[in-house]
Amino acid sequence: MTSRFSCAYLLLPLFTVLISCGGPGDAGIQPTNLASASDFLVNAEERLEENEEYESRVDWVRANFITYDTNWLSSRANAQTKRLSVELANGTKRFLEIDLPDDMRRKMNKLRLDLTLPAPRGDNAARELSDIESRLASMYSTGKGTYRGASRPLVELEDLMRTVRDPDELLEMWTNWREVSPPMADEYTRMVEIANEGARELGFKDLGHMWRSKYDMDADEFAALSDTLWMQVKPLYDALHCYVRGELAQEYGSDVVDPQGAIPAHLLGNMWAQQWANVFPIVAPADADPGYDITELLVGNGYEADQMFRTADDFFVSLGFEPMPETFWERSLFTKPEDREVVCHASAWSLDGEDDIRIKMCTKVNGDDFQTVHHEIGHNIYQRAYKDQSVVYREGANDGFHEAVGDMIALSITPEYLRQIGLLNRVPDASKDIGLLLQSALDKIAFLPFGLLVDKWRWQVFSGELTPETYNEGWWKLREDYQGVKAPVQRTADHFDPGAKYHVPNNTPYMRYFLAHILQFQFHRTACEVAGWDGPLHRCSIYGNKEVGARFDAMLQMGSSRPWQEALEAFTGSPEIDATAIIDYYAPLMEWLGEKNAGQQCGW
């Protein structure tokens, strides 16, 4: 996420509850004309600017010095921000029915939509909604499962599911973690009722309609667009699913994995079966070894955390961007301190909306973190690019853009790039590409249907298409329809399996991840075309190409000041989001999968 800071893996909604406030939200007290609208926006921007830097610095201190007192200060600052966002969102209601210039209307809409859970007027509803949010978050964060009968926190269960291969032990962890969520069901149902009423007061049909309205297009058209994008990549996903299912059936037997059915969700190396890279050792072909290991290369060349960041910074300098300022190196946190607890989730921060950009990360010298470091500095580059925009527009063009920018850069960490920076002596020949592409697809392609269906389920809940009695049934129907993944044991209406995924009880919209997984490949294809690359797309690195950097920067500087379609066109030449770049990138793998799946009955 990014507004003032950005996290690669942990995304928390900043503004969550809309409550009734006096002042600008009280229609009829103040005039509603162009002049008053202009005054309202000028005042809003000034207050947001001042508050944002204060809250950012408080949050930075808390994340780097976790104590009772820093938590207290952060809670107080966040509450202050919430009150301000609530006041401003309510204030925009006075101007819904008057004609405004496009830029003013855009700012009004962004203030109105900068909420995840709006509550209707009345202090009781707001207080009840806030209490429910707190209880749901607590239920999830304090939940535990078991492994071999012993209680384990989620983080340990996730680690175990990466390597445990006994299906009974996997089933135990999968099932017991989902005991955390049934107590959430009634609370979640009441939360939906309150937030839907709040969304309707803001002029939306329901909360799902409000969430989809953030994408510079009609809400129903956006839902249709998401399905169109999915259909563009579904043939590749189906081929990957068919191949992985066949390999898992050989590993576990056809009595555990039906060679023609949906894959049991507990066997894919991930608690939610959302990414499958952890089963690569099971499904990898015999010649999958690329001939090098990035972790070994880093260690062998004496890399430490600081050098990993300087290498990533040099990548962007090679594109024509200014290097990170000296304050970045002085004020960032790259490794976990030994003397205190810190929040270790990798995150990129802009503390003053200008040049005080930083990264906070408990970096380890390994291949995964090498990619993450490039990703996070990509966030900082984006934050610095739009610093001259209004505070209202200092964010990605839509919520998928920021993550896509970081991920696009990571796609350029190719063997050729490793050779160019002196980590690799010789680029492996093309015979090694299938293993690299398969491992990548198990992460990125396997994720796509899950990235889409989480919010599809919530849209159905918010619209009333799913009722509390059918919440779980609807969840597993979407899991089977889109992913070809099924519950390994019978699930009933008494279960609330969506609540076992962090983003549901914590009310974090999920469509941003789906969009980011599409956009990163579209960005990468365009960058390689601009660079004049003439080989397989997966072998292209844009390292050192300043023409790409200049065109890229033009998009980044826009922030969210214009519809995301215009930002996309500024870089790619087209306002249309297009998933066919994924098919281009994985073309050799798709051909290989077709050969491997020959004679198999694919689908489920």
Region class of 285: left (phi > 0), else alpha (psi between -120 and 50), else beta: beta
486: which strand partners?
A: 264
Furthest-apart CA pair in the chain: how many Å?
74
- Catalytic residue at 247? no
Which ranges of 142-184 would DSSP assign to H, the alpha helix?
154-163, 167-177
Q: Residue 289's pLDDT is what?
A: 84
* H/E stretch holding 359: strand 357-360
Residue 457 phi, psi dihedral angles, 5° rounding: -60, -45
What does the block give as tokens for 498? 């969506």
Q: Which of 434, 433, 414 is nearest to 424 (CA)?
A: 414
- Give me the residues of the chain with pLDDT under 50, please: 1-28
**Separation between Cα atoms, residue 581 and residue 561, nearest integer Å:** 26
Q: Residue 17's pLDDT is what?
A: 35
Instruction: Name, in order, each residue with C-beta under 8 angstroms of 408's C-beta and a sequence gap of 6 or more.
Output: 378, 519, 520, 521, 523, 524, 527
- Catalytic residue at 158? no
- β-strand pairing of 117-118 with 17-18: parallel
pLDDT digits (tens, 9 = 90+) for 240-258: 999 999 999 999 999 999 9
**Separation between Cα atoms, residue 157 and residue 151, nearest integer Å:** 10
Task: State the Cα angle at 594 between 592 and 596, rounded to 5°.
Answer: 70
- β-strand pairing of 144-147 with 17-18: unpaired
Q: Residue 28's pLDDT is what?
A: 45
Q: Residue 81's pLDDT is what?
A: 80
Q: Which of 209, 241, 503, 517 is catalytic?
A: 503
Contact yes or no for 358/331 (Cβ under 8 A): yes
Residue 332 phi, psi dihedral angles, 5° rounding: -70, 165
Q: Residue 142's pLDDT is what?
A: 86
Task: State the Cα angle at 264 between 136 and 285, rounded to 5°.
Answer: 120
Q: Which of 133, 376, 395, 403 is catalytic?
A: 376
